[in-house]
Amino acid sequence: MTVSLRPNDLSAFWMPYTANRSFKANPRLLARADGMHYYTPEGREILDGTAGLWCVNAGHGRREIAEAIKRQADAMDFAPTFQMGHPLAFEAAAALAAFLPDHLPYVFWTNSGSEAADTALKIALAYHRARGEGHRVRLVGRERGYHGSGFGGMSVGGIVANRRQFGVHLPFVDHLPHTHLPQVNRFARGQPEHGAERADALEELVRLHGDTIAAVIVEPVAGSTGVLVPPKGYLAKLREICTRHGILLIFDEVITGFSRLGAPFAADRFGVRPDILTMAKGLTNAAVPMGAVAVTAEVHDAIVHGSASAIELFHGYTYSGHPLACAAAIAAIAIHREEDLAGRVRNLEPVWRARVHELDSATGVVDVRDIGLIAGIELAPREGRPGERGAAVLQRCFDWGLLVRVTADTVALSPPLIVERSQIDRMVETLDRAIRAEPS
């Protein structure tokens, strides 16, 4: 299929998180995808180093998923899930619950990671109210965290650029410090040794706010900010402090879920049990938008059995459990199981680690971080012009047939989990060339 667009045809779409003017002056368009590759409208092949946007974990164009969506579109386009139901929404929730850690048996459907974050925060507040602890209204995020674009997610989020344009955030929000400690952890392979004590800041927030904290939300591995891997022991410490103070722990697994870390979820990989877990992206392999929030029986029962009203939770979306999304999720989860994508990641991780850390010595690389099939390659910014170098590297990679993602001057790699070793080689070689091409 060819797509021809005249320059002015690009104007109507106000693109998200994009420098619209610069993009439209020099567009990068993707028109087709298959397996590990995208194809531009002119048919140029681009190796996908980012699984789209951290989401096409099982690779592009999965026939099983496309066929499930088509079958469902023919059978029934839509059915409400407010006071009605359709079988696939229940079947998909059961399939997801069986893929999740055992202690998270209940699933609430959303349409995105942002909605999942806001839903999780609301569930945490409703949980405490249902238990007679309505004074627990405070939500704690973390510096450099990303939990999507809704008001809740933005407020607990900690990426400064995403907050400062809007001025007003949710009240009663506080933040933990981030865990990026380059002085002691630079070029760490896998989980860094130092920084578990950063979780102790939660004790200080408890001292400050008393028993008013409802929940702490963190990404087990911070993705959007430029890949920050949790220091050894950090997440377990956070869990322990939350438990001790009656605070719910929410893992935002929108990026870390669905086999990316060599286990179905980061909670499995790190052996830490959150009370609430949010997900999206890989859930449907990104073929249809969908998000979800999984909760423990304790959280579910407190609200569902503890509520005095017939409707236990006054929350939901028209498209919660959309039939096409449910069809896609069931098919995607089946692929993760049948192809043991988590096992594939475990096998590839040492190769991935060795190869991405070959970039440690490239001029201008100030840190390389990795875990599972994720890597962050941090570049020194151009003098007084942060972000320019990252953008230049992205453009060179694209011109040379590789899709990477950049946050300021950190390049992120997170390929589909079906990646072959030879493709890892190509990714690293292309990125190396793109970094070294920087004029000194």
Q: Output the smallest distance, CB 107 to ligand PLP, in A.
A: 16
CB 419 within 8 A of CB 348: yes
Q: Rounded CA gap, 92 and 323, in Å?
A: 10
Return the H-helix or E-strand segment holding 370.
Answer: strand 365-371
CB 374 within 8 A of CB 223: yes
CA 255, distance to chain mean position in Å, is 2
Q: Output the smallest distance, CB 251 to ligand PLP, in A.
A: 9
Nearer to ligand PLP, 287 or 392 (CB): 287
Nearer to ligand PLP, 234 or 302 (CB): 234
Residue 76: strand, helix, or coil: coil
- Residue among 297, 325, 302 nearest 312 (CA): 302
The footprint of ligand PLP on residues 271-300 (CB under 6 A) is 280
Q: Rounded CA gap, 165 and 187, in Å?
A: 33
Q: Rounded CA gap, 350 and 424, in Å?
A: 12
CB 335 within 8 A of CB 58: yes
Which residues, including other chains, have CB under 8 Å from residue 58's CB and lie 6 or more apart? 65, 282, 285, 332, 335, 336, 339, 341, 416, 417, 418
Q: Which stretch binds ligand PLP (CB under 6 A): 17-25, 106-114, 164-172, 402-410?
A: 106-114
Nearer to ligand PLP, 251 or 396 (CB): 251
CA distances from 436 to 90, 157, 348, 397, 398 (A): 52, 33, 26, 12, 15
Q: Output the smallest distance, CB 150 to ligand PLP, in A.
A: 8
Q: Quick one: tokens of 124?
A: 């945490």
Q: Output the smallest distance, CB 433 to ligand PLP, in A.
A: 28
Nearer to ligand PLP, 149 or 395 (CB): 149
The footprint of ligand PLP on residues 132-161 (CB under 6 A) is 146-148
Q: For ligand PLP, which residue has the nearest CB?
A: 113
Q: Rounded CA gap, 248 and 270, in Å?
A: 18
Per-residue binding letters, 199-238, with ligand PLP (x by CB under 6 A): --------------------x---xx--------------
Q: Quick one: tokens of 205?
A: 């927030």
CA distances from 209 to 40, 187, 199 (A): 53, 36, 16
Q: Output the smallest distance, CB 278 to ligand PLP, in A.
A: 7
* Number of chain positions touching ligand PLP (CB under 6 A): 14
Nearer to ligand PLP, 38 or 251 (CB): 251
Q: Rounded CA gap, 372 and 266, in Å?
A: 10
Nearer to ligand PLP, 18 or 361 (CB): 18
Per-residue binding letters, 233-262, with ligand PLP (x by CB under 6 A): -------------------x-xx-------
Which residues, including other chains, have CB under 8 Å from residue 310's CB and lie 6 or more apart? none
Q: Of these, 50, 57, 81, 112, which contacts ligand PLP (CB under 6 A)?
A: 112
114 near ligand PLP, rule: CB under 6 A:
yes
Nearer to ligand PLP, 302 or 411 (CB): 411
Q: Output the smallest distance, CB 285 to ligand PLP, in A.
A: 14
CB 284 within 8 A of CB 109: no
Nearer to ligand PLP, 252 or 428 (CB): 252
Q: Output the smallest distance, CB 256 to ligand PLP, in A.
A: 8
Q: Output the smallest distance, CB 286 to ligand PLP, in A.
A: 9
- Residue among 316, 306, 251, 304 nearest 277 (CA): 251
Q: Which stretch binds ligand PLP (CB under 6 A): 110-118, 168-176, 363-371, 397-405?
A: 110-118
Nearer to ligand PLP, 285 or 430 (CB): 285
Residues contributing to the site for ligand PLP (CB under 6 A): 112-114, 117, 146-148, 219, 223-224, 252, 254-255, 280
